[in-house]
Chain A
Amino acid sequence: MKGPFAKGGGLRAYAVFYLLFLYAPILLLPLFAFNSGTVIAFPLKGFTTDWFAQMYGNATLRRALTNSLIIAVSSSILATCLGIFAARATTRFRYPGKGAITSLIMLPLVLPEIIVSMSLLVVLLAIGIKLTVFTVILGHTLICMPYATVILTTAFNSLDRSLEEAAYDLGESKVSAFRLVILPLVMPGIVSSLLMSFTISLDEFIIAFFLAGNEPTLPTYIFSQLRFPKSIPMIMALGTVLVLFSIILLTLAEYYRRRGVARTGAKDSGGFL
């Protein structure tokens, strides 16, 4: 099947060019991270790994990393658990108000984060809850939940219901059928959802910026340093590490998502979202 524009040669060139545009900033990161010049501009000076060393010795950065990891691990687990409930309910059961409930759960996907964070902040301040890592986890779980739900819905959707019924016929209870039959089949989806939520939380700035109080996270630390030209090269080094790490996580997430699709024998519709 060919499109109306000949063999798509022009389109392919355009798509490759578009990919370059998408990757341009990411490709520049390592250049500046290993550049010995202190100003982020061309031409590059010499090669150095000083910025990485500087990053390693930074105590605030270490604290930000610890906080970010605590937040990302907690939010990804919470969001995935909530996502499992949502995905199982929407794919298997009918109940009143289903559309409205699903819309509410999916709402953070389109609602600007400034609205989510400001409204949550107002409530937290009004009831006198101290802003800490915990309040960021609350917010991040909320914004990761829709992504987790989408990924898990795909996983649960491709389940063959007769497998579950066969388990009941063989005398398994609801709980044991879920554990022995359904869970192993959707496991790749769960892993994919965990990795995805982890990546989102690790990179999220707005909510962390407003709800963390005085606790730094990696993005809020980066934001605070962008004002100081002196710390920019180190931030480039940090960015390089973060981008690499994110790509590894995303590749793993994609691997598990595909494995999940293959395991349940469904057709691959491709991609997240």
Chain B
Amino acid sequence: MAAGNRSETAQGLALISPPLVYALLILAAPLATIVAYSFLKDGYLTVIREFTLENYIAVWNDPIFHRIMLRSLLVAGLVTLVTVALAFPVAYFLSFVVPPERKALWLFLITIPFWTSYLIRVFLWKVILGYNGVVNSGLKSLGLIEQPLTFILYNVNSMVITLAHAYAPFAILPIFIALEKIDRSLLEAGRDLGENRIMTFWRVTLPLAMPGVIAASLIVFIPTIGDYVTPELIGGGKIPMIANLIQAQMLALDNRPLGSALAVTSMLIVAVLSLIFLFLNRRFLRGQK
């Protein structure tokens, strides 16, 4: 039996090694490299192998970094809030109203736009929300407005709308899965004990759905904060987010150590915020998994 177990372990490790080695080489090693670079000095077109904390000091003292980081956090936070709030009723509808045989079809319809030409979708939002865009020209021809609406023009608001659209399925799926796991008899028990529908939802359904809401929040927040395309296309490069800053430092300014320190700092900030978020919601996650 012991021998059997050992061979089981060996077989498992042998099988997992190709994807593991690939992830180590193409993902873990490069990540380790930028961590290492962030502690090195920048020479002209090269990197000097000498330990320093200068890059981190420069990043932390840079007012541009503060502004762009805050803007990125704000945009990603708003996108997360909007996306999750808009997605929850849809996930609820899918789980509680749609008959089981139709669920896969609905999920499929929701995920399709997510997989189709990200760039063109972002660009089309610019067209929809722009100065002579679909919304403004439509409202003008209906005589509802005289001047184009300015609050949706190439600014943080339009970035939030675009990103909320892009990451919508990411929010629906985890909430849907959490709702599907809820034992329906609990809801009946709530009703039998004299709670009305709203109270049952508030005291039974919502707490049980929270792990899904938390997962959805993180799964939207983390990629949106690192989004490169939307600020580039919608903001026209004038309202950069953190990804644009990292890219500029790494390539345009060719300061790899500073760019690496920016990337590492941003990842740390996002990781710490995610952990705080999980900690604040720990009572919902207890007894999960």
7 additional contacts, CB 8 Å, given A203-B115, A254-B104?
A: A4-B187, A39-B132, A41-B134, A112-B222, A114-B247, A118-B263, A250-B111
Cα distance, A272 to B114, chains bound together (Å): 11
Binds B, one of A24-32, A45-53, A159-167, A185-193: A24-32
Q: Among B28, B93, B104, B197, which residue has the most Cβ atoms of chain A within 10 A? A: B93
Which residues of A sit under 8 angstroms from B34, Cβ to Cβ? 118-119, 122
Asked if B104 and A205 make an inter-chain contact with CB atoms under 8 angstroms apart, the answer reads no
Query: How many chain B residues touch A (Cβ–Cβ < 8 Å)?
Result: 93
Residue of A nearest to B162 (CB): A25
Which residues of A sit under 8 angstroms from B106, Cβ to Cβ? 15
A235 within 8 Å of B (CB atoms): yes
Which residue in A4, A85, A107, A219 is a CB contact (below 8 Å) of B18? A85
Which residue in B19, B104, B165, B218 is a CB contact (below 8 Å) of A268? B104
A59 within 8 Å of B (CB atoms): no
Cα distance, A120 to B92, chains bound together (Å): 40
Residue of B nearest to A271 (CB): B107
Cα distance, A243 to B133, chains bound together (Å): 22
Asked if B165 and A21 make an inter-chain contact with CB atoms under 8 angstroms apart, the answer reads yes
- Listed in ascending order, the chain A residues whose CB lies under 8 Å from chain B are 1-5, 7-8, 11-12, 14-15, 18-19, 21-26, 28-29, 32, 39-43, 81-83, 85-86, 88-90, 92-96, 98, 101, 104-105, 107-108, 110-116, 118-123, 126, 138-139, 141-142, 145, 149, 199-200, 203, 205-206, 210, 219, 222-223, 226, 235-236, 239, 242-243, 246-247, 250, 254, 258, 268-273
Asked if B97 and A12 make an inter-chain contact with CB atoms under 8 angstroms apart, the answer reads yes
Which residue in B16, B33, B223, B256 is a CB contact (below 8 Å) of A101? B16
Asked if A271 and B93 make an inter-chain contact with CB atoms under 8 angstroms apart, the answer reads no
Residue of A nearest to B244 (CB): A114
Cα distance, A243 to B218, chains bound together (Å): 28
Also in contact, A4 and B89, with CB within 8 A (given A42-B137, A122-B33): no
Which residues of A sit under 8 angstroms from B279, Cβ to Cβ? none
Cα distance, A98 to B197, chains bound together (Å): 43
Asked if A118 and B22 make an inter-chain contact with CB atoms under 8 angstroms apart, the answer reads no
Q: Could you list some 9 contacts between A and B, CB below 8 A?
A: A11-B89, A41-B132, A93-B9, A95-B9, A101-B20, A115-B246, A122-B33, A226-B119, A254-B108
B128 within 8 Å of A (CB atoms): yes
Q: Among A26, A29, A112, A205, which residue has the most Cβ atoms of chain B within 10 A? A: A112
